[in-house]
Amino acid sequence: MLVVAAQGLLIGALARADSDFRLTSPAFNPGAPIPTNFSCTAGDHSPALAWSGAPAGTKSFALIVEDPDAPMGTFVHWVVFNLPAGASGIATDAPKTPRLADGATQGSNGMGAIGYKGPCPPPGKTHHYHFELFALDTTLEVPPAVDAASLRAAMQNHVKASAELVGTFER
């Protein structure tokens, strides 16, 4: 857990602060609740995401979605990498397959499965879900089903900028 946190800090420190690089979702506003249809209680459908303002020289994007409020430590909900440089979003309900239609690759979530795992916190406490998008200066040579920690290690020295969207969920 500390290794992941340290890697996250290092990646954040290496990323260029770029206020033009933004990550949004038509499904929820920053800091607002994530709709139930994107949770474990309604089929684990992934929300649509959109981004803009990537820095010049971006060769690919990577996305990591995490819940730092999980009782057993940070839980990884989604890992996607090698999203094409020309991409500006991910459509809702991404298939739970290693490869997406645009050529991007999905890694393993905290359950060890490929694809998005929706919010599913224990009842009674609001959790925060961090959708973090990284603009990279390369495409990554990592195996499909890579976990978030290994992806962060592969991204070292390749992050040009990052953008974050945080949503909440409570059962």
State how far the Cα of 159 lies from the Cα of 162, in Å rounded to an integer: 7
State how far the Cα of 130 lies from the Cα of 134, in Å rounded to an integer: 13
Identify the band that residue 147 occupies on the pLDDT scale cut at 50, 70 and 90: very high
pLDDT tens-digit map of 58-70: 999 999 999 999 9
Q: Which residues of 116-137 are buried (b: 16+ CB within 10 A; e: fewer)?
A: bbbbbbeeeeebebbbbbbbbe
State how far the Cα of 120 lies from the Cα of 87, in Å rounded to an integer: 29
pLDDT the model gives residue 11: 47
CATH architecture assignment, domain 2-169: Alpha-Beta Complex (3.90)
pLDDT surpassing 90 at residue 16: no
As given in the structure block, the two tokens for residue 64 are: 């990591």
State how far the Cα of 63 lies from the Cα of 77, in Å rounded to an integer: 10
Identify the band that residue 17 occupies on the pLDDT scale cut at 50, 70 and 90: low
Q: Can you give the residue ranges of every domain in the chain?
A: 2-169
How many beta carbons lie within 10 A of that of residue 167, not counting itself?
23
pLDDT the model gives residue 105: 98
Identify the band that residue 144 occupies on the pLDDT scale cut at 50, 70 and 90: confident
Identify the band that residue 10 occupies on the pLDDT scale cut at 50, 70 and 90: very low
CB 59 within 8 A of CB 160: no
The DSSP secondary-structure symbol of 152 reads: H
